[in-house]
Amino acid sequence: MEKILFIQTGFGVDVHGQDITKAAIRAVRNAIFTNSMPGIEDLLPGKDLNNMVVNVKLALPTDAELLDENAIRAIIPYGTVTVETMPGGMLTTSGIFLADKADKNDLMYIVNASVETGF
Tell me the mean pLDDT per 10 residues along the chain, length 119: 96 98 98 93 96 98 98 97 98 97 97 98
CB of 38 closer than 8 Å to CB of 5: no
What pLDDT is attached to residue 102?
A: 94
With 0.85 as the threshold, say if the pTM is over it: yes
Spell out a b/e string for 30-62, using b for 16 or more CB atoms within 10 Å of the CB, else e.
Answer: bbbeeeeeeebeeebeeeeeeebbbbbbbbbbe
Best CA proximity match to 52, nearest among 61, 40, 34, 70: 40
Stated as kind and residue range, the H or E segment containing 26 is helix 20-32
Which DSSP string do the residues of 32-51 spell out, in sequence order?
Answer: HTT---TTHHHHSGGG-GGG
What pLDDT is attached to residue 39?
A: 93
What pLDDT is attached to residue 63?
A: 98
CB of 69 closer than 8 Å to CB of 84: no
What pLDDT is attached to residue 105?
A: 97
